[in-house]
Amino acid sequence: MRAYNQRATGHSIGGQVSHSDWKGVRQGNAQASIPRDLSGYVCGCVLRVAREVLALLPIDWVLVTASAETLDSRTGHTGEAPVLSAAMSRAVIAGLDFDRLNPSDAMENFLHRGDFKASRESDEFESITPLTPDDLPLKSTDTMELSDLVAKAVSLREALCLKIAELNPNLIATAQEEGATQ
């Protein structure tokens, strides 16, 4: 019999945190089925955390990272490490049929990181670098209000001017002189 004890943690963009502990016990079937069964379980837990956070908070996105005990083959030590991280939007979650979906396949609907299949040699998950808010897709300009579009354009223009000034200070001075003469 083999026991697993992992934790999935969800972070909303506003900084709220949700944890989901799970303990799975697996009877001694063929070793090859452990990665598939466990990866589906991990993905299912990530989906559950996302649904619960989105049900509680008025947010559009949630980042969920699942961690598992992993073995560092270089040191021989075990420790908790992230194995799956997903950025999940309210709109996509709302469109899923949870009664019929496969949790592992459902991860393809989201921006995610993780080879959440156990490696063949050690039956261990491979550690990943979790997603951050900077990894989230930008808000679509098709759904933005005019005031948000103007603010975004002004912000982008300022960032562009700063980058140009950094690369070529003479070019900005010339552009400002031309703008003043017009």
Express each pLDDT in 42-69 by its tens digit.
Answer: 999 999 999 999 999 998 899 999 998 8
Q: Per-domain residue ranges for the chain?
A: 2-135, 146-181
pTM, full prediction: 0.58
Tens of pLDDT, residues 119-173: 444 556 788 999 998 888 766 666 677 887 788 788 788 878 887 887 887 765 5
Q: CA–CA separation, 59 vs 69, rounded Å?
A: 30
